């Protein structure tokens, strides 16, 4: 049996950085990864997909050149092999950077294999047994495949496999109208495929307020994406030239099907029962406010604990664990203000409460909205789709939440994220003097228009 000061299972965005901090403190650490370092973000999420989004935007801008007085003769052609290779290069470079970083650390042992608990302090991997007083789980999540009629008879794609396509689908049917599915829908439409989005719920991006969801649908429809919401029945069958997707309201002749109906944690094959670690009904590991499980000496970080399915929340889990265990701090998950983005174009930047959540909280609230068509920078760039929205507490004057669906919305939202984390009231933020001409300069104006509801 090999002994360590700590064992980290999973090489995503929390575990490896925590392992590195512990090594800096002179600890002996084993990092176990069953496949690739970097987790979903590096290998099948943020980095490759946003690289693909950039290629798709380049195609869109090229096709739109005439609007700006830039005439490109001939048809804009897409070389999917180059598109795929570019995304793979970004992923490989990031992964190799991690490999090189860890290889230079004394005290770090990287093991590739499938780890399972033998007891609360012991795991087995590749026929070896390892033990440590501290074990950290950072095992991530994977796509959910729903049990739909005919699904096992077709060759479907997931968010993991579609990034390896080097040919353009004739018609891509996206099953699921949430964030992952919508990004791929717009991306492949811009590459030149016909695209249909099929969503069980009554609207796209169901987490958002209805006005945001409607605006997202308008953006996608304006680019020729076919959207079906409120679909109760879906079935698949092979056809002579692809796949037939039959719903209760339409019949779609697709060449490819992307299943984008959510993700589930990779916790079902870790031997958690042997360690006594509790999970909820969805398989997420139950943790307290400091990310500790019910078993002393075991923590769960990142997607597998159900407290955020984003790279930045996973990394923040590392920051919380490191601060509490190594720096004598007392940081809590409940102190985190959730923020995220939807990377369609224009993007959606989101922070804090939605209007629906704010109304349900019983607070006296104020709301302001402003169309992007009234933003000078948006008009100058010719990108006026979407709008800004902010919600504030009428009594405390604190900002409760905001949504910016529009040009650079994923960046502009950070002004509000920073203000909320600093506890700044909206009247104070109104007196900032932002740079002109930017999108962010409209934040004080947006706040100035707050009205009670």
In whole numbers, what is the pLDDT of the chain averaged over residues? 97
CATH code for the domain defined by 339-452: 3.30.390.30
- Please give the Cα distance from 278 to 262 (Å, whole number): 22
Under the banding of pLDDT at 50, 70 and 90, the label for residue 32 is very high
| Mean pLDDT, range 105-121, rounded to an integer | 97
Angle at 317 between CA 316 and CA 323, to 5 degrees: 85
Identical topology for domains 2-141+264-335 and 339-452: no
Per-residue pLDDT tens over the stretch 70-103: 999 999 999 999 999 999 999 999 999 999 999 9
Per-residue pLDDT tens over the stretch 231-270: 999 999 999 999 999 999 899 999 999 999 999 999 999 9
Question: Does residue 404 register a pLDDT over 90?
Answer: yes
Question: Does residue 275 register a pLDDT over 90?
Answer: yes
Angle at 98 between CA 92 and CA 104, to 5 degrees: 135
Question: Does residue 171 register a pLDDT over 90?
Answer: yes
- Kindly list the domain boundaries of the chain, sorted by start residue: 2-141+264-335, 151-261, 339-452
Under the banding of pLDDT at 50, 70 and 90, the label for residue 375 is very high
What pLDDT does residue 219 have?
98
Per-residue pLDDT tens over the stretch 114-147: 999 999 999 999 999 999 999 999 999 999 999 9
Whole-structure pTM value? 0.96
Question: Does residue 309 register a pLDDT over 90?
Answer: no
Does domain 151-261 fall into CATH 3.50.50.60?
Answer: yes
Cβ-based neighbour number of residue 444 at 10 Å: 17
CATH architecture of the domain covering 2-141+264-335: 3-Layer(bba) Sandwich (3.50)
- Please give the Cα distance from 348 to 338 (Å, whole number): 14
- Catalogue the active-site residues: 436
């Amino acid at each position: 049996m090999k002994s360590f000061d700590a064992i980290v299972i999973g090489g995503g965005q929390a575990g490896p950085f925590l392992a590195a901090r512990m090594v800096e403190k002179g600890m002996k650490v084993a990092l176990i990864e069953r496949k690739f370092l970097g987790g979903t973000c590096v290998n099948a999420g943020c980095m490759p997909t946003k690289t693909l989004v950039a290629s798709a935007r380049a195609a869109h801008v090229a096709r739109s050149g005439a609007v700006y007085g830039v005439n490109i003769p001939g048809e804009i052609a897409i070389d999917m092999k180059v598109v795929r290779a570019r995304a793979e290069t970004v992923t490989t470079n990031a992964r190799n950077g991690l490999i090189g970083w860890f290889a230079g650390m004394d005290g770090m042992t990287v093991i590739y294999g499938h780890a399972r608990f033998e007891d609360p302090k012991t795991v087995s991997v590749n026929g070896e047994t390892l033990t440590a007083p501290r074990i950290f789980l950072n095992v991530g999540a994977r796509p959910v495949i729903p049990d739909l009629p005919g699904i096992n008879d077709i060759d479907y794609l997931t968010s993991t496999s579609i990034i390896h396509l080097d040919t353009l689908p004739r018609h891509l049917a996206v099953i699921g109208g949430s964030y992952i599915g919508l990004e791929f829908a717009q991306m492949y439409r811009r590459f030149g495929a016909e695209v249909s989005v099929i969503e069980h719920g009554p609207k796209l991006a169901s987490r958002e307020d209805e006005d945001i969801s409607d605006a997202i649908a308008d953006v996608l429809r304006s680019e020729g994406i076919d959207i079906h919401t409120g679909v109760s029945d879906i079935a698949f069958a092979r056809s002579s030239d692809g796949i037939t997707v039959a719903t209760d309201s339409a019949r779609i002749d697709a060449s490819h099907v992307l299943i984008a109906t959510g993700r589930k944690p990779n916790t079902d094959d870790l031997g958690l029962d042997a360690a006594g670690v509790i999970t909820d009904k969805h398989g997420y590991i139950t943790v307290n406010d400091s990310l500790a499980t019910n078993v002393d000496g075991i923590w769960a970080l990142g997607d597998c604990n159900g407290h955020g399915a984003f790279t930045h929340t996973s990394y923040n889990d590392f920051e919380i664990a490191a601060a509490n265990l190594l720096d004598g701090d007392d940081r809590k998950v409940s102190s985190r203000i959730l923020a995220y983005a939807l990377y369609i174009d224009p993007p959606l930047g989101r922070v804090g409460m939605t209007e629906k959540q704010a109304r349900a909280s019983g607070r006296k609230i104020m709301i302001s909205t402003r169309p992007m068509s009234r933003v000078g920078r948006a008009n100058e760039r010719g990108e006026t789709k979407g709008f800004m929205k902010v919600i504030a507490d009428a009594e405390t004057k604190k900002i409760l939440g905001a949504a910016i669906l529009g040009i650079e919305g994923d960046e502009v939202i950070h002004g509000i994220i920073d203000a909320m984390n600093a506890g700044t009231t909206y009247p104070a933020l109104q007196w900032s003097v932002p740079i002109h001409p930017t999108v962010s300069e409209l934040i004080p104006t947006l706040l100035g228009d707050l009205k009670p509801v």
